[in-house]
Amino acid sequence: MGSATLVVVSIDPQKPVLQAAYVGDSGYAIFRMDPNGTIYLVNKFAEQQHGFNFPFQLARTDLNQGDDPESAITVELPVEKDDIIIVGSDGLFDNLHVS
């Protein structure tokens, strides 16, 4: 019994595309370096929340409460060689402030 947020990320081996699915406040960030050596944010997930500190969650409880897995946000994004991809839970993204 319990609940969890979720993120699943894969990169297609045939083409440079990141595919991600996530529920709640677990997610990803993609960074890239420009020709001057500056690292910048390319794309970051958008949290799913019902309200402050109340993220969407998959759950199994006696009351069978929780969000439907079909509420997952799915994305497909182009990536490039040497991109930096960070995947994590809210424990990471609550403390890693990127914009």
**Contact (Cβ atoms closer than 8 angstroms) between residue 2 and residue 57:** no
Cα–Cα dist 16/78, whole Å: 6
What element of type H or E holds 92?
Answer: helix 90-93
What confidence score (pLDDT) does residue 64 get? 64
Cα–Cα dist 49/31, whole Å: 24
**What is the 8-class DSSP label of residue 10?**
E
Q: What is the pLDDT of residues 35-89, one digit of tens each?
A: 999 999 999 999 999 999 899 999 876 666 789 899 999 999 999 999 999 999 9
What confidence score (pLDDT) does residue 35 get? 94
What confidence score (pLDDT) does residue 73 get? 97
